[in-house]
Amino acid sequence: MNSTPPRSVPFWCSIRVAVAFVGFLGMVAHYSQKISVGIALVCMVNHTAISQHKTPIDMPITQEDIDCPYAKNTMKIEGPYSWTKNIQGIILGGYFWGYLITEIPGGYMAVRYGARFIFGIGMIISGIFTLLIPWGASLHYGVLWVFRLIVGLSHGVIWPSMTVIMAHWAPPNERGKLVGFMNAGAQIGNVLTLSIGGLMCSLNFLGGWPLIFYSTGIIGLIWGIFWILFYADSPRDQRCISNEEKEYIIESTQKQLAGHSKNEFEAPWKAILTSPACWALFTIHTCNNWGTYTFLTSIPKYMAEVLRFDIKSNGLLSSLPYIMFWININLSGAIADMIIRKEILTRTQTRKLFNVLGNILPAIFVIALAFMTCKLKYTAVVLLTFGVTFTGCCYGGGFMLTANDIAPAYAGIVFGISNTFATIPGIVSPYIVGALTEKDSNNWRIVFFICAAIYIIGMIVFLFIGSGDVQPWATRQKTEATTSEQVPLSGKILFFQYY
């Protein structure tokens, strides 16, 4: 069956695009809160005070100090807190401990009860505790860690909710465009926070850096309330949708969803945990996220410590890779949809192609980045930008769509499990970066080599056992339901031919 919309069902002026757009704004709010600490730490920490506590043995003159000394007229912002790099790594990791815990429960609840309140309430809670972070930091870094833990707990439900939203609202032949556009909000959140956050740090108003948390907290709070008022868990319940669009979406998506009510919902846990296709997704998602989280949490530090950019330039240049990342996600989604629609490649082959592009190319650029110094800092920015940009292939046409491909009815649960594994790098990576670079900035080279190796491992695993086809266990309840209703055999054959 062809899921191309009839001419009477527009794409751009449609409710499904409106849902994707509001979801896009939600991802902007989500990621602006997620990375706020990464840029804020650069100006929260009193680097001079930390240096005074070190002996000359602990803090030798580096090659960067000789080749690229800080200019005397460079404004170097010193914050109120004497937190070592290890403490900073612990603070950055606090978010991900919370994020790790709620992924699977969040996916289960979103599948069973819908994503409207799960997503909305999560953003409201995270907005409140983001607003409280400046106060928590003034008490003790442990309080800041707890607040970030709570923000992580609230955010852990978001990505699984996104897959559930798209399972109900994105027809398969439009999935790349809609999912890619919605996911791209994450990169705009990165861009805005990294660029504007650097400028906020340099302001005297309200202490400068607290503005990062006040602004991102308020945005999340407002968005969460709007989402609850706007979103409907099914096209059937959306008040503003046309009958033509409603019928088109339901016809093209509901056949992929399990044939039971939410009250009868049972997740096939054993099938999911023994599925090679799922484990291919879990592996590449985890490996790709190692690079993503290393960049996300550590780019501002790398820009400041190795490339010697001041805080204003740091913020703007740190955001540049994510502008290109956003563009590539949208392009990849559209190109992947076209390749599948024109049957140039199968869905599985398309996912593998985009996963290769989204892992091997970043690995190459990361290896090149390992040999950059402050003398070549603009070349390093170019390499960094290309490396992050090509990761967008995975988000627009690769593994980010795999949960919806292989198990549409259980996409929230599958993605929740996947993102649980994929959150581990967010905990481990900042601590490893801090530990490696604490005494020797030359160890950034080791950080980049580790990234490249992990990228390649994930790519190889998905190439061998990855899939983009609906798995038999994900359609079992649907076929059982149609059998009990005595659907003609020809109808069953057509159902399977569709996939």
Q: Are residues 210 and 242 in the same domain?
A: yes
What's the burial of 472, exposed, middle or buried (CB within 10 Å: 0-12/13-18/19+)? exposed
pLDDT digits (tens, 9 = 90+) for 135-174: 999 899 899 999 999 999 999 999 889 989 988 898 888 8
Q: Are residues 249 and 350 in the same domain?
A: no
Domain count along the chain: 2
Q: Which pLDDT score is estimated for 313?
A: 61
Q: Say what the alpha-carbon torsion angle 206, 210, 212, 215 is, to the nearest 10 degrees.
A: -70
48 band by pLDDT with thresholds 50, 70 and 90:
low
More confident site: 72 or 214: 214
Q: Which pLDDT score is estimated for 468?
A: 93
Q: Which pLDDT score is estimated for 184?
A: 82
Q: Are residues 248 and 288 in the same domain?
A: no
**232 within 8 A of 128, measured Cβ to Cβ:** no
Distance CA 83, CA 89 (A): 10
- Entry pTM: 0.76
Q: Looking at the predicted structure, is the pLDDT value of residue 68 above 70? A: no
Mean pLDDT of 288-293: 89
Q: Which pLDDT score is estimated for 488?
A: 38
Where is average pLDDT lowest: 1-5, 78-82, 395-399, 408-412? Answer: 1-5
Q: Which pLDDT score is estimated for 264?
A: 53
Q: Which pLDDT score is estimated for 50?
A: 54
Question: Does 344 fall in a domain?
Answer: yes
Q: Are residues 237 and 285 in the same domain?
A: no
Where is average pLDDT lowest: 104-118, 295-309, 427-441? Answer: 295-309
Mean pLDDT of 173-177: 83
The CATH number linked to 134 is: 1.20.1250.20
Q: Choose the final residue of a domain: 228, 255, 282.
A: 255
Q: Looking at the predicted structure, is the pLDDT value of residue 252 above 50? A: yes
Question: Does 8 fall in a domain?
Answer: no
Q: Looking at the predicted structure, is the pLDDT value of residue 11 above 70? A: yes
Q: Choose the final residue of a domain: 221, 255, 289.
A: 255
Q: Are residues 327 and 245 in the same domain?
A: no
Question: Does 417 fall in a domain?
Answer: yes
Q: Which pLDDT score is estimated for 167?
A: 85
Q: Are residues 315 and 180 in the same domain?
A: no
Sign of CA dihedral 200, 201, 204, 210: positive
Q: Are residues 31 and 108 in the same domain?
A: yes
Q: Which pLDDT score is estimated for 481?
A: 40
257 band by pLDDT with thresholds 50, 70 and 90:
low
Q: Which pLDDT score is estimated for 262?
A: 53
298 band by pLDDT with thresholds 50, 70 and 90:
confident
Q: Which pLDDT score is estimated for 358?
A: 95
Q: Are residues 98 and 236 in the same domain?
A: yes
What's the burial of 338, exposed, middle or buried (CB within 10 Å: 0-12/13-18/19+)? middle
Q: Looking at the predicted structure, is the pLDDT value of residue 316 above 60? A: yes
Question: Does 321 fall in a domain?
Answer: yes
More confident site: 180 or 438: 180
Question: Does 497 fall in a domain?
Answer: no
Q: Which pLDDT score is estimated for 202?
A: 75
Q: Are residues 342 and 433 in the same domain?
A: yes
Residue 413's contacts (CB-CB under 8 Å, 6 or more residues apart) are 104, 107, 108, 111, 160, 267, 272, 407
Q: Which pLDDT score is estimated for 194?
A: 78
Mean pLDDT of 425-432: 82
Question: Does 225 fall in a domain?
Answer: yes
Mean pLDDT of 44-60: 57
Greatest Cα-to-Cα distance within the chain, rounded to the nearest angstrom:
82
Q: Which pLDDT score is estimated for 209?
A: 87
Q: Looking at the predicted structure, is the pLDDT value of residue 77 above 70? A: no
pLDDT digits (tens, 9 = 90+) for 330-366: 899 899 999 998 999 999 999 999 999 999 999 999 8
Mean pLDDT of 436-463: 88
Q: Are residues 224 and 284 in the same domain?
A: no
Mean pLDDT of the chain: 82
Q: Which pLDDT score is estimated for 483?
A: 40
Q: Are residues 190 and 316 in the same domain?
A: no
Selection from 94, 426, 448, 428 nearest residue 306 by Cα: 448
Q: Are residues 136 and 198 in the same domain?
A: yes
Q: Which pLDDT score is estimated for 199?
A: 80
Q: Looking at the predicted structure, is the pLDDT value of residue 60 above 60? A: no
Angle at 197 between CA 193 and CA 202, to 5 degrees: 170
More confident site: 155 or 442: 155
Distance CA 313, CA 198 (A): 8
Phi, psi of 45 (to 5 degrees): -90, 140
Question: Does 60 fall in a domain?
Answer: no
Q: Choose the final residue of a domain: 255, 290, 306.
A: 255
Q: Which pLDDT score is estimated for 495?
A: 28
More confident site: 311 or 451: 451
More confident site: 273 or 494: 273
Q: Which pLDDT score is estimated for 479?
A: 42
Range of the domain at 405: 268-471
Question: Does 478 fall in a domain?
Answer: no
